[in-house]
Amino acid sequence: MLLRLWRSMTILLVALLQGLAFAHLLERPAKLQYDGALYLTLQKTLYVQWGPPNVGGILEPAAIVATLILAFLLRKDRQAFWLTVAAGIALLLAFPVIFFWLVAPANEVFLATTPDSAPANWMEMRARWELGHAIRFVLQFFALGTLLLSLILNGRKG
């Protein structure tokens, strides 16, 4: 029973995380059309809830920790264990690796400016930020898919 509850909670957390990443992906085409002032305004206002101490800043570490604990709980079921480990690796690549490599440096630039004083490299930072979030979406999508596959395959056993 504990395993079922933990697995359900983990999948729910990763699905919510995937929702945040999908929102970034859906916004991308429109945001690439915006000038520097509007883009920087959105970065400083629209995404407040994505980072700490708000829901997004709590959700991502919670999803990662829950997935890693789930892998430990599934250690005796070889197939489910390795699928869950793959999900955990994908989530760990999305955060902290991709986040701190591509997204965080752009966030620092955006937060240090005002919409009226866009830095000369704002388009380069925008490209890094958008690419980082697209990669994170793919990694989180993979993680959610492998967790669901583990659940489906486990259901066929019993």
Residue owning tokens 């994908």:
90
What contacts 132, CB < 8 A, 6 or more positions away?
A: 98, 99, 101, 102, 103, 106
Residue 105 CA to residue 82 CA, distance in Å, equals 33
Residue 52: per-residue pLDDT: 85
Residue 10 CA to residue 31 CA, distance in Å, equals 31
Residue 115: per-residue pLDDT: 82
Q: Which residues of the chain have pLDDT under 70?
A: 156-158
Residue 158: per-residue pLDDT: 45
Residue 70 and residue 84 in contact, taking contact as beta carbons nearer than 8 Å = yes
